Structure formats: structure tokens, C-alpha cells
Amino acid sequence: DMGGHDTYMHKEIHEQADAVDRVLRGRIDDRFSTVHLGGLNLDAREARQIRRVKILGCGTSYHAGMIGAQMIEELARIPADAEPASEFRYRNAVVDPDTLYIAVSQSGETYDVLAAVQELKRKGARVLGVVNVVGSAIAREADGGIYVHAGPEVCVVSTKCFTNTTVAFALLALHLGRTRDLSVRDGKRIIEGLRKLPAQIAEMLEQEEEIKKLAQEYAEAHSMLFIGRVRGYPVAREASLKLKEVSYIHAEAYPASELKHGPLALIEPALPTVAIVPDDDLLEKNRAAMEEIKARSGKILAVAHQHQEKADQTIVVPKNEDELDPILMGIPLQLLAYHTALALGRDIDKPRNLAKSVTVE
Ligand code: M6R
């Protein structure tokens, strides 16, 4: 049942305010400015002993994991990174007892992720799952974890589950942070930010008509570049994946900081750039990158917290706490991918060559 929407992708994009409400529900503890995560199976002493966090997932779940790793580093000050599970499982990685491994998967059935979990468990590592489908293979195999409660996601292209997974990581980062050295004041600040998310998502979705017009324009492009730095970079990666999956337009994501090391050579009027420009301490650096692109007659669409003069167009996203900004910045880019695909007449819910879950090698 599409509930009045023409595609599941559209329906699922519009379900995100409710979905985020669900992942937050019952988990916030105002008394200690932290969150309770019932299924984690990680006591405070164990949480304090973690020396590293390694997050594993594929596709969109990997991108959500990249955002999660940044949140964990920022809020819990534990070194963290994300890696495609599909690479990790083939490289005889050093498995370290002080590392917390986290497997991320919407379906909970992705074979590359499951195989990585099984290999880690065989070597005695502790593995948590950040999973949507309750009781799925990865959820069962993990030592504990967080359900992201996005609800059923039917469209092959993941949208609401991506958003909910990033929120689940914010909860985990806050929990680990408050078990370690994050102050009460910062805990409160993050909780306030989390509580604002559902209303801000609804506010974001109200801009659909304008984004649709932009998409009709960008549907003519043969290729697009997505740039961002630090918090903006995983958002650029995910936006680029979304666009290519559903519209079949070639897209590439690059850290804005790497432009001058090569990709600037590509810039010309026919290659539009989408720049992710959060209003954080890297704002000036991002403006300088946009200037470099403008100087080479490149067209720019900025996704930012305030109107960007250097860009040809700006989609303005509601501002949250810096650490939580990536959660909202992905949403207009889901709409951009959706409307680009619609303008091109693509099979939105079932893009060619793709399956909802990849349960084979
Ligand atoms: O079910 P999972 O989250 O484990 O799936 C991982 C990827 O196959 C998945 O995210 C894929 O990239 C989607 N088509 C993204 O839209």
C-alpha cells in the first residue's frame, strides 16, 4: 500500500519524521542527559574499555556508518572509522580485542556484512549490529545492538533507513560519550538537537516543489560531482549513490579538500557540482572551494544552512547541532535524486540491475 504516493521511494522519504520519532522513542534519559539502549549488551565498564570502533556495512549502510564513526569520535572521543564490509572480509584484517565492531545493515541479510560478522565472531571480537529488520541474520549473529525502527522499506533504494541509522548512531555516540567524558551540558545539547529532528525533517520536506524544479534542470546533466568535507563528505557520498542508483546519471563524490589535487580538471559548465556546506567551522573553506569551481565556470547547487552567494542555487536546510547536521542534509538530496529519476522516467522503486538485499557473494 503506497498510501496515496506514486512510488514507495516517495512514500518512504515522506515517512521520515515519524520514523525518526520512533528511533528516539523511549530511549532518552533526561535525568542523566544520556540515552538508554536496551539491547546493547555492553555495560559501562566495557564501554569505557573500548579503544577503537570499526564500523562495517555496504552501500548506503556504509555511508551511514561513516557518519556514525564521525559522531562517535566527536562525542565519545574514541577513534572510529567505517569500511565497506565487502572489503574488510577479504583483507585478513587485524582483529583487536579492544576494538568494538559494529555491523550496519537495513535488511540484516547482506551476505558481505554477515560474512564479516561471522569472521569477527570466530576470532573472538565483540560485534554489535545496527539493523532495521528485527530478527534478521545479522541481528541474530551480533552480540547486541540497536534496532533502527525505520519500519519496512520496500524501495530498492534506501532513504528512511539511512536517516534512521544515522540517528541510531547519534544515540550510540551520545551513550558512549556520556559513559566516558562527554559533559552533561553537551549531553543536554545533543538531546535537544535530537528532539528537534522530526519537526525539522517535516520543514525540509515542505521544500519539495522547489527541489523538483531543480531536479528537472539537473536531469539534463550527463555527470555530476558531489563535494563536502568532514561532516559533509559522507553526505556527498550518499547523495551521489542515490542519484546514480535511481536516475542512472553518473555521479562522483569527492572531499572538497581534494578538488585541487585532480578533479578540478573536470570542471566546466557541463559538469554541475552539488556542494554540501554546513554552517560549521569549515564554512569558509567550503566557500573557497565553491569559488574555485565558479572561477572555472562550473555550475553549483549548494545544500547549506544559509544562502550561498558563490552558488547558483541554494537549498537551505534547518540548522541543528553541528554534530547532528549530516542527518538532515541528506534529505533534500534524496528528493533531488527522486525527482531527477522521475523527470527521466526511470523505474524508481526497482532500478535496473539492483536488488533490495544482496544475499550472495
Ligand atoms: O540491507 P543493507 O543495508 O545491508 O544493504 C546494503 C546495500 O546493499 C544497500 O544500502 C544498497 O546500497 C542500496 N541499494 C542503497 O540505496
Instruction: Tell me what the mean pLDDT of segment 80-94 comes to.
Output: 95
From the CB of residue 7, how many other CB atoms can be counted at a distance below 10 Å? 20
Q: What are phi and psi of 89, to 5 degrees?
A: -70, -15
Tell me what pLDDT residue 8 has.
96
Tell me what pLDDT residue 5 has.
95
Our mutation pick for probing the ligand 1 site, out of 242, 357, 359, 361, counting the most ligand atoms within 8 A of Cβ, is 357
**Of all atoms in ligand 1, which is nearest to the CA of residue 354?**
14
In contact, 332 and 315? CB cutoff 8 Å: yes
Catalytic residue status for 356? yes
Instruction: Tell me the residue type at 326.
Output: P
**Of all atoms in ligand 1, which is nearest to the CA of residue 113?**
4
Q: Is the CB of 157 under 6 A from ligand 1?
A: yes
In contact, 344 and 245? CB cutoff 8 Å: no
Rg over CA atoms, the chain: 20
Q: What are phi and psi of 243, to 5 degrees?
A: -60, -45
For ligand 1, atom 9: residue with the closest CA: 59
Percentage of the chain beyond pLDDT 90 is: 96
For ligand 1, atom 12: residue with the closest CA: 59
Tell me what pLDDT residue 166 has.
98
Residue 361 in this model has a pLDDT that exceeds 90: no
Q: Is 73 exposed, middle or buried (0-12, 13-18, 19+ CB in 10 A)?
A: middle
Query: Would you say the pTM of this structure is higher than 0.95?
Result: yes
Mean pLDDT of the chain: 97
Q: Which of 21-30, 45-54, 212-221, 350-359 has the lowest mean pLDDT?
A: 350-359
